[in-house]
Amino acid sequence: MASGQWQALAEQFQVICPSGGGPGAGDPSKQRGQASCGHCVSVAGLQGWVQALLDQGITSFRCPRCPDAPWLWQEVCKLGLFSDEIRAMLETQILAQEGTRASYRQCPRCQHLVQRLEPGPLRTPCLLCSQRARRLCCFCWGCRTDWPDASAHADLHCPLQAALHDAPTIQAPRSSLHSCPSLRACPRCHALLSHTLRGCPLVLCPECQCSFCYRCLELSRGHVSPCPIADRQLVCGGMQ
């Protein structure tokens, strides 16, 4: 969506409050919240704006007045005062959109979505759980297990699991690999592989020489076509 359309929608729903008056309570239609960028936001306007963006397949948010200031989903939910029911409905829409895997995960504690903008440390804080517990609550971005402190989680497969989960699907309608994940792990040694989209689905791992089908992940010996597309692989013991 062009920035002009984005801002026009924000104006339509009156997301940004006029100058003067800080965060407050009372009439829901007049409730305000202060965003991390400093602007005051209308709770009612934000809720309508978020729904309008999601209806158009937009799953990232930024301040309408300072477009370089991203609003993480955690902050949007806090500003919008979403009930658990409304938040769950909106998050279902987010998960239904192609391309959200790399930036959204469900917290294993509360099952609500946590967003991050760029790859980084696997230990990921959940704002909602932290607020409820009144302490920092984190989980592993790779395997989605609880990660209470920095020294309590050491599964070396977690970065691999994150890469497999984040990989987009192959969009090549004329290929037998259409809708397959764009990354697979070798069933024997877990080396990451991608397919050239040329030739048949059978691939040979350059690390251990294991031959397997990129679609169904079965070993080549005894493989039968046609075969179903296997789900994304779970290589980490803690994956939920």
pTM of the complete model: 0.74
Cα separation, 143 vs 162, in Å, equals 7
Is the predicted pLDDT of residue 25 greater than 50, yes or no?
Answer: no
**Half-sphere exposure of residue 145, counting CA atoms within 13 Å on the CB side?**
13
Q: How confident is the model at residue 3 (pLDDT cuts 50, 70, 90)?
A: low
Q: At what angle do helices 43-55 and 3-13 cross, to 10 degrees?
A: 140
CB 40 within 8 A of CB 64: no
Q: Which pLDDT belongs to residue 21? A: 52
SS (H, E, C) the chain: CCHHHHHHHHHHHCCECCCCCCCECCCHHHCEEECCCCCEEEHHHHHHHHHHHHHCCCCCEECCCCCCCEECHHHHHHHHCCCHHHHHHHHHHHHCCCCCCCCEEECCCCCCEEECCCCCCCEEECHHHHHHHCCCCEEECCCCCECCCCCCCCCCCHHHHHHHHHCCECCCCCCCCCCCECCEECCCCCCEECCCCCCCCEEECCCCCCEEECCCCCECCCCCCCCCCCCCCCCCCCCC
The pLDDT mean for the chain works out to: 87
The pLDDT tens digits for 123-146 are: 999 999 999 999 999 999 988 888
> Which residue is associated with the tokens 């984190």?
138
CB 119 within 8 A of CB 131: no
The pLDDT tens digits for 145-192 are: 889 887 777 677 888 888 898 898 999 999 999 999 999 999 999 999
CA dihedral 11, 94, 175, 222 (to 10 degrees): 170
